[in-house]
Amino acid sequence: MTNENTNGLLRFITAGSVDDGKSTLIGRLLFDSKAVLSDQLLAVRNAKHKRTIGEQIDFSLLTDGLEAEREQGITIDVAYRYFSTAKRKFIIADTPGHEQYTRNMVTGASTADAAVVLIDPVRALDAQDNVTLLAQTRRHSALLRLLGIRHIVVAVNKMDLIGFDQQRFEKICDAYAQLATQLGLTDVHYIPVSALGGDNVVTRSENMPWYQGQPLLSILESLELAQPGESNPAALRFPVQLVVRQDGSQADDFRGYMGKVAGGRISVGQTLRVLPGNQTGIVKEILSPDGEVSTAVSGDVLTISLDRDIDVSRGDIFVSADAQIEATRDIHADLCWFDADPLELKRKYLLRHTFASIPVRINRINKVLDVKTLLSETGSDQLRLNDIGEVQLTLQKPLVSDSYDDNAVTGSFILIDEVSNNTVAAGIIKAVAAPA
């Protein structure tokens, strides 16, 4: 008897420009891997916004669940789907390709291990078969690099529309390979597919005998996950979500600190330091949803109590007593700007980091990435909608953070407009300045 799901859980997203066929590809992947229930299939066959002819299934409707998505034929929100094969479990995030919804793509990519970047060859090739990758494809690829996505699968979709032509496929692969080199993407796989016809999605295509590689599902099943210490950093980080108290009149005046471990491990008897307060205490008790435990690791949700009461607030972070980290007010970060109103230097925004909310000002824009040329422009005083820029921020009070490469949880944040309460940007911390 063989073991199932031996390769672990893989989270992956679809990326690329609008109308590249992301939703159709995911729908076909679910259908061909027998992950669609009969009532779901019946609903799709009878859907009023079906865009296929006759009895042909519109696979995009399996992921485009919002009425507005079905009416307009575009993906707006991130659609999560779960399925498994004999080798692996999957969580798919079908993300929007439209420039207006770049923020949703960033949301889906923030927890992904891999990305399937779709390219429509009809729009990438001109009459002379010269290749021009679309701006949103380039923008998504740049964001995947910033977010540290390890594995990229480039799926050249709609191969049926170019006659399953090998030379055209290879030209597109060469163009993306140049982009990948510029961005620093190293683990890139290339595959020709036709999502509508199922070519090279779950099984090898008879229409493209020249392609000797694996179909998409086999590639996804074989991708290696990050090793312990990469996805779960060794350095202890425990952001406090809530401080809980028992009735002070009772004999047991319990004070606990609730949250989710963002890196490392906590054990009973361990000495912790809380930042930015810089007080220490010894772990007396660890309470998990299943009861009391002696040790907790990254990803565990728990409540800890200490041997003495110390001043701890929501958003503070527990670290090891000997950790070489201090809170700081100055941060160097990459921003993806989401708002129609451009970023204004010196204007106050609200930075939300783990469970902390701190007023912040952006002092300087070091450079802005031009997604068409991948060159960085300096001297700008604004970030506009969907711009990616490198900035320097000053916070109103000290914050405990890491670089994104060291810890994705404590190395990322969002910016809120205090007036409109809109999420205006997502940020990735590159470095923190040493405290004065």
Listed residue (104, 92, 108) closest to 11, CA to CA: 92
User: What pLDDT band is residue 225 in, cutting at 50, 70 and 90?
Assistant: confident
Confidence tier at 317 by pLDDT (50, 70, 90): very high
Examine domains 237-320 and 327-429 and report if their fold is the same.
yes
Helix (H) or strand (E) holding 10: strand 9-15
H helices of 212-348, where? 216-222
Tell me what pLDDT residue 245 has.
82
**Whole-angstrom distance, CA of residue 37 vs CA of residue 157:** 25
Lowest mean pLDDT, pick from 11-20, 160-169, 301-310, 355-364: 11-20
Domain boundaries, the chain: 9-222, 237-320, 327-429
User: pLDDT band at residue 231, thresholds of 50, 70 and 90?
Assistant: very low
Cα torsion 205, 211, 212, 213 to 10°: value is: -80
Rounded to an integer, the average pLDDT of 363-377 is 84
Query: Can you name the CATH fold of 237-320?
Result: Elongation Factor Tu (Ef-tu); domain 3 (2.40.30)
The two three-digit tokens of residue 434, written as one number = 């040493």
Mean pLDDT, rounded, for 415-429: 90
Q: Can you give the pLDDT at residue 45?
A: 55
Strands (E), 182-327: 187-192, 238-245, 255-260, 265-267, 271-275, 279-288, 291-293, 295-297, 301-306, 317-320
- Band (pLDDT 50/70/90 cuts) for residue 108 is confident
b/e map 271-301, b = 16+ CB within 10 Å: ebbbbbeeeebebebbbeeeeeeeebebebe
Is 50 exceeded by the pLDDT of residue 233? yes
3-state helix, strand, coil in the chain (%, to 5): 20, 35, 45
> Phi and psi dihedrals of 21, rounded to 5?
100, 25
With cut-offs at 50, 70 and 90, classify the pLDDT of residue 333.
Answer: very high
Spell 342-371 as b/e; 16+ CB within 10 A means b: ebeeeeebbbbbbbbebebbbeebebbbeb
Which pLDDT score is estimated for 61? 67
What is residue 38's predicted lDDT score, i.e. its pLDDT? 58
Percent of the chain with pLDDT over 90: 47
Strands 388-399 and 356-369: antiparallel
Between 433 and 130, residue with greater pLDDT: 130
For residue 248, the model assigns a pLDDT of 54
pLDDT recorded at residue 71: 40
Residue-wise pLDDT tens digits, 53-88: 445 566 666 654 433 333 434 433 456 788 888 899
Dump pLDDT digits (tens) for 268-290.
Answer: 999 999 999 899 999 999 999 99
Joined tokens for residue 11: 């989270």
Q: For residues 36 and 62, is the Cβ–Cβ distance under 8 A?
A: yes
C-beta of residue 404 within 8 angstroms of C-beta of residue 148: yes
How far is 381 from 217, CA to CA, in rounded Å? 45
The per-residue pLDDT for 58 is 63
Residues in the chain: 436
- Which tens digits make up the pLDDT trace of 339-355? 889 998 888 999 999 99
Q: Please tell me the predicted confidence (pLDDT) of residue 99.
A: 57
How distant is the alpha carbon of residue 315 from its chain centre? Answer: 22
Burial of 170 by CB count in 10 Å (0-12 exposed, 13-18 middle, 19+ buried)?
middle
Lowest mean pLDDT among 115-124, 321-330, 369-378, 381-390: 369-378
- What pLDDT was estimated at residue 229? 43
- Supply the DSSP string of 317-366, one letter for each residue: EEEETT-----EEEEEEEEEE--SSPP-TT-EEEEEETTEEEEEEEEEEE
Bigger pLDDT: 114 or 61? 114
Band of residue 372 on the pLDDT scale cut at 50, 70, 90: confident
Share of the chain above pLDDT 70, in %: 82
**Residue 214 is encoded by which pair of tokens?**
């694996």
Highest mean pLDDT among 22-26, 57-61, 280-284, 431-435: 280-284
With a cut of 60, say whether residue 48 has pLDDT above it: no
CATH topology of domain 327-429: Elongation Factor Tu (Ef-tu); domain 3 (2.40.30)
Superfamily of domain 9-222, CATH level 4: P-loop containing nucleotide triphosphate hydrolases (3.40.50.300)
